[in-house]
């Protein structure tokens, strides 16, 4: 019997498998220059819904040892948990910067993304960038914040909303002030929102919202405050089931 048919079938199957399984990987651009470090220019600490694209792109810059921007240096982005980059790799532009649009993963919580560049010897330099994805609760909290809290708690004004922050005698804490807010327990934070600042010997300029917002809405606000906190909020102690 003729055994030569094996010689045909194996490469055919191999090529069919290769075509079906592996889409062509994008060609890695050839670096024109190399830097020593990569730094963040803009786009960290953004808040977006789960799975959504961040409003602003993330911009990083590659510098040489003296801190001067390097054009044409390789940059590659990576992250865990379903984060997508558009594009995820490339060369820095003439200003030494590289811009990518980031879509976060499907789970709420903080996401860490890493931008990597390599020098001529292949040694890696990287910068870590943090972004925040909101689940339903954080999203609701953000909306409630925009209605009830932001005018006093955000020192920045916009054309549509003048900040009242500087008109208060006790300065309201921005919700990103993790150094202060992380030290307040969930129970105390809920108490301040529900009963007002006076209830915890803080300024009465913080009014009580316990009769205005429902329990779940106040929970949502606390979840939002925890989500945007910088440095990030780390819950303490043992967890016990609640349901």
Positions touching other proteins (CB under 8 A) are 1, 49-53, 55, 81, 103, 105-109, 135-137, 139-140, 143-144, 147-148, 151-152, 159-162, 164, 166-168, 198, 203-205, 207-209, 211-212, 216-217, 219-220, 223, 235, 238-243
Rounded to the nearest whole angstrom, what is the least distance from the CB of residue 77 to other proteins in the complex? Answer: 19
Rounded to the nearest whole angstrom, what is the least distance from the CB of residue 179 to other proteins in the complex? Answer: 22
Q: What angle do CA 155, 112, 89 make, to 5 degrees?
A: 110
| Closer to other proteins by Cβ: residue 36 or 194 | 194
| Closer to other proteins by Cβ: residue 72 or 82 | 82
Rounded to the nearest whole angstrom, what is the least distance from the CB of residue 111 to other proteins in the complex? Answer: 11
Look at the alpha carbons of 170, 171, 173, 179 in this order and tell me if their dihedral is positive or negative: negative
- Cβ(7)–Cβ(14) under 8 Å? no
Give the separation between CA 43 and CA 100, rounded to whole angstroms. 10
What string of H, E and C letters represents the secondary structure of 206-241? CCCCCCCCCHHHHHHHHHHHHHHCECCCCCCCCCCC
| Closer to other proteins by Cβ: residue 57 or 72 | 57
Both tokens assigned to 175: 């919700």
E strand map for the chain: 37-42, 47-49, 58-63, 74-79, 84-86, 89-91, 97-103, 109-118, 124-134
| Closer to other proteins by Cβ: residue 8 or 239 | 239
| Closer to other proteins by Cβ: residue 89 or 151 | 151
Strand order in the sheet with 47-49: 47-49, 124-134, 109-118, 74-79, 89-91
Rounded to the nearest whole angstrom, what is the least distance from the CB of residue 155 to other proteins in the complex? Answer: 14
Rounded to the nearest whole angstrom, what is the least distance from the CB of residue 162 to other proteins in the complex? Answer: 5
Rounded to the nearest whole angstrom, what is the least distance from the CB of residue 168 to other proteins in the complex? Answer: 5
| Closer to other proteins by Cβ: residue 95 or 136 | 136
């Amino acid at each position: 019997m003729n055994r030569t048919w094996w010689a045909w079938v194996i490469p055919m199957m191999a090529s069919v498998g290769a075509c079906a399984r592996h889409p062509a990987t994008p060609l890695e651009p050839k670096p024109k220059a190399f830097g020593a470090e990569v730094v963040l220019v803009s786009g960290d600490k953004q808040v977006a819904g789960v799975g959504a694209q961040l409003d602003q792109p993330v911009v990083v810059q590659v510098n040489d040892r003296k801190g001067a921007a390097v054009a044409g240096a390789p940059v590659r982005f990576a992250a865990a948990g379903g984060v997508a980059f558009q594009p995820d790799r490339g060369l820095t532009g003439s200003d030494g910067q590289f811009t990518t649009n980031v879509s976060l993963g499907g789970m709420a919580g903080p996401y860490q993304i890493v931008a990597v560049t390599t020098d001529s010897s292949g040694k890696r330099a990287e910068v870590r960038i943090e972004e925040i994805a909101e689940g339903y609760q954080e999203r609701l909290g953000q909306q409630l914040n925009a209605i009830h809290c932001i005018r006093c708690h955000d020192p920045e004004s916009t054309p549509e909303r003048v900040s009242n922050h500087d008109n208060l005698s006790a300065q309201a804490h921005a919700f990103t002030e993790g150094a202060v807010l992380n030290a307040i327990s969930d129970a105390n934070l809920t108490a301040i929102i529900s009963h007002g600042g006076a209830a915890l010997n803080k300024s009465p300029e913080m009014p009580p919202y316990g009769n205005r917002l429902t329990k779940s809405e106040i929970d949502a606000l606390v979840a939002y405050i925890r989500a945007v906190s910088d440095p990030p909020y780390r819950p303490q102690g043992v967890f016990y089931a609640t349901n």
